[in-house]
Amino acid sequence: GESVGLHLPTLSVQEGDNSIINCAYSNSASDYFIWYKQESGKGPQFIIDIRSNMDKRQGQRVTVLLNKTVKHLSLQIAATQPGDSAVYFCAENSGGSNYKLTFGKGTLLTVNP
Amino acid sequence: DAMVIQNPRYQVTQFGKPVTLSCSQTLNHNVMYWYQQKSSQAPKLLFHYYDKDFNNEADTPDNFQSRRPNTSFCFLDIRSPGLGDAAMYLCATSVGIFAAGVGNEQFFGPGTRLTVL
């Protein structure tokens, strides 16, 4: 069977609260970042992206903040719902001719009703 | 709807018995990727195709091969599956052209869960 995986960082919140998921990225040359949501047994699903010429971008109930000085990315989810329970991955791309993504470790978000 | 499709969703094979996983896309994207994902871990890139140009990751075992007969289809072949190859296998696609206003978002399929007995 599968090897034992690493324990994911976890975040547990109450329904209706705001959630903040953090990610430290590794490559100072990265200029495009994505957050993915992955529910159990499914493929990652795009949530929101941001380019390095921005420090904030908002979507529906989600906001991504980028701090290039400390190479930090965060995802804020407003009014968290049980359907938001999933693993969240950040990913970075260094652009140019490199179109591959480098994924962070992931955070397990659990929303308690 | 344009999408990435993976078949089968669940695959059981025996130790050492070759297995092929399938991916198709209707997005007409240039790039197709194969990832391996084990429990509680991030997806790990195995290889990708940019059109017909195959790009292997340095640490991908020789046991894993891929074929892309046309733009729409890409296959992952595991020649001799071991117990350690049991995982979720994810296919993804992207436009592959990084230009102003175009991100390199990757679109993922639902994955194939491989069990090795």
Give B28-62 as a DSSP string.
Answer: --SEEEEEEE-TTS--EEEEEEETTEEEE-TT--T
**Given this model, what pLDDT does residue A3 score?**
37
Interchain proximity B42–A6, CB inside 8 Å: no
Task: Look at residue B87 and tell me whether its pLDDT is greater than 70.
Answer: yes
Pull the structure tokens for residue A75. Answer: 């995802």
Q: What is the CA radius of gyration of chain B?
A: 14
Q: What is the mean pLDDT of residues B59-70?
A: 96
**Given this model, what pLDDT does residue A2 score?**
38
Could you report the per-residue pLDDT of A1-41, keeping only the tens digit for each?
333 445 689 999 999 999 999 999 888 888 889 999 999 99
Task: Look at residue B75 and tell me whether its pLDDT is greater than 90.
Answer: yes
**Given this model, what pLDDT does residue B97 score?**
65
In whole numbers, what is the pLDDT of chain B averaged over residues? 92
**Given this model, what pLDDT does residue A1 score?**
37
Could you report the per-residue pLDDT of A32-68, keeping only the tens digit for each?
899 999 999 999 999 999 999 999 999 999 999 999 9
Which chain B residue has its CA at the smallest distance from A92's CA? B104
Residue A83's SS3 state is helix
CB pairs under 8 A between A and B: 79
Cα A66 to Cα B39: distance, rounded to the nearest angstrom: 28
**Given this model, what pLDDT does residue A5 score?**
44
Interchain proximity A44–B105, CB inside 8 Å: no
- Surface-to-core class of residue B27, CB atoms within 10 Å of its CB (0-12 exposed, 13-18 middle, 19+ buried): middle
**Given this model, what pLDDT does residue B8 score?**
94
A58-63, long-range: CB within 8 Å, 24+ apart, which pairs? A62/A35
Interchain proximity A3–B110, CB inside 8 Å: no
According to DSSP, residue A2 is labeled: P
Cα A75 to Cα A90: distance, rounded to the nearest angstrom: 9
Task: Look at residue B111 and tell me whether its pLDDT is greater than 90.
Answer: yes
**Given this model, what pLDDT does residue B70 score?**
96
According to DSSP, residue A78 is labeled: S
Residue to mutate among B40, B55, B94, B95, with most A CBs inside 10 A, is: B40
Interchain proximity B111–A43, CB inside 8 Å: yes
Amino acid identity, position B79: R
Interface check for B10 against chain A (CB to CB < 8 A): the answer is: no
Cβ-nearest to B90 among A5, A43, A97: A43
Interchain proximity B98–A8, CB inside 8 Å: no
Could you report the per-residue pLDDT of B9-59, keeping only the tens digit for each?
999 999 999 999 999 999 999 999 999 999 989 999 999 999 999 999 999
